[in-house]
Amino acid sequence: MIRIEKANFGELRTLQDLGKTTFLETFTESNTDADMQQYLAVNFSLDKLSIELSEINSQFFIVWDGAVAVGYLKVNIGLAQTEPMDEQSLEIERIYVLNAYHGKKVGQLLYEQALEVAAGLGKSSVWLGVWEKNPRAIRFYEKNGFVAFDTHIFKMGEDEQTDIMMRKHLDVETA
């Protein structure tokens, strides 16, 4: 049975394992091993994840299939957003799903969870950055009504990569 739950500190290692695994599955083929290892060591350390989980303006959600964690979501508001945005914006920083669960609507469930958070906070838009070389994710967001509005640089180890910044305006009354 698939369910989504807000993550807590007792699930820090689950988030770490899930984060590393899904990131490796998604980006290994397109990056050097050195860049991947450096990125994983820094960005999925227990210390960094603990700080992120402590951030009052961020929330993590884990998708469970029974007792198995299969994907997760991280959203940010206010100063926790990775780019300066207005107060009416919510950032989807991460939606990652294990490859074995692609095509099973898990990503869509996480996306809908993000919309639910945005609606609950009265936000008028949702935005995110997606790597320009990730056509599957770009199509997913376009299908869900996101439109490109800018780009920014994402540092992957020593490699500077371009993310497409995409936004979806929400009907605050019905979001």
Residues 42, 20: Cα–Cα separation, whole Å: 11
Structure-token pair, residue 96 = 């990652």
Res. 173 pLDDT band, cuts 50 70 90: low
Whose tokens are 């008028």? That residue is 124
pTM comes to 0.93
Res. 172 pLDDT band, cuts 50 70 90: low
Whether 32 shows a pLDDT value over 70: the answer reads yes
Residues 65, 167: Cα–Cα separation, whole Å: 30
Residues 29, 52: Cα–Cα separation, whole Å: 27
Q: What ranges do the domains of the chain cover?
A: 2-79+86-169
Residues 7, 32: Cα–Cα separation, whole Å: 31
The DSSP bridge pattern shows strands 125-131 and 89-97 to be parallel
CATH architecture designation of domain 2-79+86-169:
3-Layer(aba) Sandwich (3.40)
Neighbours of 18 (CB within 10 A): 23
DSSP 132: T
Strand partners, 128: 166
Kindly state the average pLDDT of the residues 10-22. Answer: 97
Q: What is the pLDDT of residue 30?
A: 85
Whether 175 shows a pLDDT value over 80: the answer reads no
Contact, 58 vs 74, CB < 8 A? yes
Structure-token pair, residue 86 = 């207005």
Whether 174 shows a pLDDT value over 60: the answer reads no
Res. 29 pLDDT band, cuts 50 70 90: confident
Residues 158, 62: Cα–Cα separation, whole Å: 30
Please give the positions annotated as active site: 141
**Cα diameter, the chain:** 47
Q: pLDDT of 48-77, one tens digit each?
A: 999 999 999 999 999 999 999 999 999 999
